[in-house]
Amino acid sequence: MTTSTRGATKVPAVLVLEDGRIFRGRAYGAVGVTFGEAVFSTGMTGYQETLTDPSYHRQVVVMTAPHVGNTGVNDEDPESKRIWVAGYVVRDPARVPSNWRSRRSLDDELRHQGVVGISSIDTRALTRHLRERGAMRVGIFSGNALPDEGTMLAEVRQAPEMKGADLSAEVATKEAYVVPAIGAKKFTVAAVDLGIKGMTPHRMAERGIEVHVLPATATAEDVYAVNPDGVFFSNGPGDPATADHPVSVMQAVLERGTPLFGICFGNQILGRALGFGTYKLKYGHRGINQPVQDRTTGKVEVTAHNHGFAVDAPLDQVSETPFGRAEVSHVCLNDNVVEGLQLLDRPAFSVQYHPEAAAGPHDAAYLFDRFVSLMEGQRA
């Protein structure tokens, strides 16, 4: 059943960037105040997956697609149990959602979950500003009686920054749980949840893997207690420079030579475990149309991204690390950012982007098969 909606409201809203740029529009979703890091996503579709991706915790997402909410909200596409974005910015919300799976409108859902948004602003100008000046702190203020601009700006400048933020434990599961293999069980994987998206264990389960999802605080003992054939480190929010605990757990896994796969935050953790640094990108990669080259095959794939940090590793040489030789396996063709790492002497690899493709193109699904091959190789 589809409910009708008003689309943009009449309630005024203001978006205030930390550098003093201000956009005036109308309240969208919940009315109130919110702060976060302003980032933009270029995905034309997949807004439910974006909103519910735990890696967006503390980020205010600007949609470059001008018309958002057209297909409403269904119960099948969320990547977690709630919306994680700190705020939502759209040009022109759908007035009437229409889709056979739709259960409610996007603005009702945002309101229901208390997510403050803004609509009817020039999202193209905002995106160009963020591209030129970089991702920065932002506040959205909505309501009929708003503070003056100086007060709002001062509040934005007091909000915490993304650099130095340690957020995985705020989004990850508190209790371990099991996602059963679909069909015959072939392998057991321990998946360290740093902010995992629901599609990731599903992609493994489809390949006969029983996935034991463990809290971000899991120790190496917890990982080996499930007797895993492979270990996985998930995506997640925050600055990888703060992730000392998962880095040390991963080093223990590398030491034992258990097959290892990491996605996004997991790639940054592998980078750190090998001794590389990480750094903040100017405005990051977010969307479902980013070109990446797999340097091991030369093939180019179109991929889904959501990252604001990246690994600092040499692109054109094999590096000697405490765990043997490592190389950059994938690179973004837009800006040469490191998009994947692999070890040459141990069964471990990772990618900075999202092969689970929720939402997004399925070009990179082969990476889950690579993980399975590593586990098969270990048994042979």
Residues 6 or more apart from 141 whose CB is under 8 A from it?
13, 14, 16, 33, 147, 152
The CA-atom distances, in angstroms, between 137 and each of 31, 134, 143, 196 are 19, 10, 21, 25
The conformation of residue 180, written as its DSSP 8-state character, comes to P
308 is in an annotated binding site: yes
114 assigned binding-site residue: no
**Lookup: tokens for 31:** 């009315």
List Cβ neighbours of 30 (8 Å cut-off, separation of 6 or more): 110, 111, 113, 114, 115, 116, 117
| Minimum CB distance to ligand GLN, residue 54 (Å) | 8
Question: Cβ contacts of residue 152 below 8 Å, gap of 6+?
Answer: 14, 16, 139, 141, 146
- Is 202 one of the catalytic residues? no
9 binds ligand GLN (CB under 6 A): no
Give the integer Cα–Cα distance in Å for 316 and 38. Answer: 33
In whole angstroms, the minimum distance from the beta carbon of 358 to ligand GLN comes to: 12
- Counting contacts by CB under 6 A, is residue 41 touching ligand GLN? no
State the Cα–Cα distance between residues 55 and 4, nearest whole angstrom: 30
Residue holding tokens 């990850």?
A: 172
CB nearer to ligand GLN: give 96 or 159.
Answer: 159
40 binds ligand GLN (CB under 6 A): no
The CB density around residue 96, as the number of other CB atoms within 10 Å, is: 14
Termini Cα distance of the chain? 52
Give yes or no for residue 23 binding ligand GLN (CB under 6 A): no
60 is a contact residue toward ligand GLN (CB under 6 A) = no
**Nearer Cβ to ligand GLN (72/237):** 237
Which one of 129, 264, 305, 327 is the catalytic residue? Answer: 264
- Residue 308 makes contact with ligand GLN by CB under 6 A: yes
Count of positions on this chain that bind ligand GLN (CB under 6 A): 11
Distance CA 109, CA 277 (A): 39
Q: Which residue in the set 306, 321, 329, 350 belongs to the binding site for ligand GLN (CB under 6 A)?
A: 306
Residues of this chain, 216-255, that bind ligand GLN according to CB under 6 A: 235-238
Choice between 55 and 71, CB closer to ligand GLN: 55
Query: Does 69 show up as a binding residue in the annotation?
Result: no
Q: Tell me: is residue 268 an annotated ligand-binding position.
A: yes
* Closest listed residue to residue 274, CA positions, set 255, 258, 290, 256: 255
43 binding ligand GLN? (CB under 6 A): no
The Cα–Cα gap between 236 and 307 comes to: 9
Q: In the chain, which ranges are continuous DSSP H helix? A: 47-51, 106-112, 123-133, 149-158, 168-171, 199-205, 220-225, 244-256, 265-273, 366-379
- 236 annotated ligand-binding residue: yes
Q: Among this protein's residues, is 305 annotated catalytic?
A: no
Taking contact as CB under 6 A, which single stretch among the options 12-20, 42-50, 147-155, 303-311 is the one that binds ligand GLN? 303-311
Rule CB under 6 A: choose which of 35, 88, 232, 309 binds ligand GLN: 309
> Does 69 interact with ligand GLN (rule: CB under 6 A)?
no
Q: Smallest distance, Å, CB 289 to ligand GLN? A: 16
Residue 36 sits in the site that holds ligand GLN (CB under 6 A)? no
**Is 55 annotated among the ligand-binding residues?**
yes
332 is catalytic: no
Return binding residues for L-glutamine: 55, 236, 238, 265, 268, 306, 308-309
- So which residues are the catalytic ones? 264, 354, 356
Q: Under the rule (CB under 6 A), what is the footprint of ligand GLN?
A: 55, 235-238, 264-265, 306-309
